[in-house]
Structure 1
Amino acid sequence: MDFAMFSQIAQITDHLFLSSAAAVKTDRIRNYGITHVINLTLEIPNLNLPNLECIQIHIEDAPHARLSVYFDRCADKINDVHMRGGRTLVHCVAGVSRSATICIAYLMKYHRMSLEQAYYHCKKRRPVVHPNCGFWRQLIDYERRILGRNSVKMVSSSFGPIPEVYQEEVRNMVYFQTSRRNHYRPALPPWR
C-alpha cells in the first residue's frame, strides 16, 4: 500500500476534492483554488483562512453512524459552490470512509452516476477509498431513493455482510489461527 496516498489531495471532479486531514494545508488549499471545506471529523478543527468557508460535521467513522442524514445537505452545498465558481474539499481523518461516502453521494445525486460507478470513480482517483459497511448500506438506500434502482448489494462473507464490490478483496485476505481449535479470523479487515 502506498502510504503517501493518505497525505495527498485527490481531484474527484473539476471542482470536488477528497483528502485526509493531514493533507489540509494552507498552501495546498490555495494551490487547488479551494474555496470551501467540508470537515467530517470529531476532533480536527477547521482551517482558519480568509475567503475559505468551512463546514464541520461531527460524526464518527462507525457503521452505526447516521451519515446519510447529511447526504443531501453536503451534495447540495458542493453543487451550490460549483454553480458559483468555487471548489470544495471534503475530508475526514484518513480520507477513506466518511469523506469518500459524501463524495459518492454527491456523484450519484448531481452526476447521476450509479453507486457502483461513483465508487469506482472515486477509487480510481484515490485508491484508499473504502467506506465502512454501515455507510454502504446507507448509500444503497440513497441510490434506491434518488435513482430508483440499486447497482450494488450487500452479500454474505466470512466477515458478515459486505458490499459486493469488496468481494475480491475478501478473497485475497490473509487468515491466521487464533486458537488451538482451528478457529480463524481475518487480519485487519479494511472496513472495520
Structure 2
Amino acid sequence: MDLAMFSQIAPITDHLFLSSAAAVKSDRIRSFGITHVINLTLEIPNLNLPNLECIQIHIEDAPHARLSAYFDRCADKINHVHMRGGRTLVHCVAGVSRSATICMAYLMKYQRMPLDQAYYHCKKRRPVVHPNVGFWRQLIEYERRILGRNSVKMVSSSMGMIPEVYQEEFRNMVYVPSSHRNHYRPSPAPFRY
C-alpha cells in the first residue's frame, strides 16, 4: 500500500476533494482553492483560516454510527458551495471510510451516479477508499431512496456480509482472530499436486 496516499488530497470532481486529516494544511487548502471543509472526526479540530468555512460532524468510524443522518445535509452543502463557485474538502482521520461515504452520497444525489459507479469513481481517485460495512448498508438504503433502485447489494463471504463490490478483494483473505483486534490476512496459495 502506498502510504503517501494518506497525505494526498484527491479531487473527486472539480469542486469536491477527499483526504485524511494529515493532508489538511493551510498551504494545501489554499493551493486547491478550497473554501469549505467538512470534518468528520471526533477529535481533530477544524483548521482556522480566514475565508474558510468549516463544519465538524462528530461521528465515529464504526458500523453502528448513523452517518446516513448527515447524507442530505452534507450533499446539500457541497452542492450549495459548488453553485456559489466554491470548493469543498471532506476529510476524516484516514480519508478511507467516513469521508468517502459522504462523497459517494453526494455523487448519488447530485451527479445521479449509481452507488457502484460512485464507489469506483472515488476508488479510482483515492485507492484507499474502503467504507465500513455499516456505512455500506446506509449507502444502499440511501441509493434506494434517492435513485429508486440498488446497484450494490450485501453478499455473504467468509468474513460475514460485505458489499458485493468488495468480493474480489476479500476473495483471497481469511479471518485471523487476535486477542486485541480482528485482522484480515491474505490466505495462503492453495496447495497444488
Same fold (TM over 0.5): yes
1:110-189 matched pairs, under 5 angstroms: 110-174=110-174, 187=184
3-state SS, counterpart of residue 91 of structure 2 = strand
Letter in 2 for 1:122: C
Aligned length: 183
Q: Does 1:75 align with 2:75?
A: yes
Aligned 8 A contact 1:173 1:186 in 2: no
3-state SS, counterpart of residue 50 of structure 1 = coil
Deviations 1:85-129 (A, max 9, x none): 000000000000000000000000000000000000000000000
Shift of 1:158: 1.0
Label 1:65 to 1:85 Cα distance change in 2 as closer, same or farther (>3 A).
same
Aligned partners of 2:50, 2:183: CA distance in 1, in Å? 47
Label 1:188 to 1:44 Cα distance change in 2 as closer, same or farther (>3 A).
farther
Deviations 1:22-69 (A, max 9, x none): 000000000000000000000000000000000000000000000000
3-state SS, counterpart of residue 6 of structure 1 = helix
Aligned 8 A contact 2:176 2:185 in 1: no
Aligned partners of 1:18, 1:72: CA distance in 2, in Å? 17
Letter in 1 for 2:9: I
Aligned partners of 1:76, 1:143: CA distance in 2, in Å? 16
Aligned partners of 1:117, 1:8: CA distance in 2, in Å? 22
3-state SS, counterpart of residue 150 of structure 1 = coil
**Aligned position for 1:104:** 104
Aligned partners of 2:49, 2:127: CA distance in 1, in Å? 29
Aligned partners of 1:131, 1:46: CA distance in 2, in Å? 22
For the aligned residue pairs, the C-alpha RMSD in angstroms reads 1.6
List runs of 5+ in structure 1 lacking aligned partners. Answer: 179-184
Shift of 1:187: 2.4
3-state SS, counterpart of residue 152 of structure 2 = coil
Aligned 8 A contact 2:41 2:58 in 1: yes
Label 1:55 to 1:177 Cα distance change in 2 as closer, same or farther (>3 A).
closer
List runs of 5+ in structure 2 lacking aligned partners. Answer: 187-193
Aligned partners of 1:24, 1:176: CA distance in 2, in Å? 34
Shift of 1:172: 2.1
3-state SS, counterpart of residue 187 of structure 1 = strand
Shift of 1:176: 5.4
Aligned partners of 2:105, 2:62: CA distance in 1, in Å? 17
Label 1:22 to 1:148 Cα distance change in 2 as closer, same or farther (>3 A).
same
Moved over 2 A (4+): 174-178, 185-189
Letter in 2 for 1:104: M
3-state SS, counterpart of residue 155 of structure 1 = strand
TM-score scaled by length of structure 2: 0.92
Aligned residues: percent identity?
Answer: 87
TM-score scaled by length of structure 1: 0.92
**Aligned position for 1:52:** 52
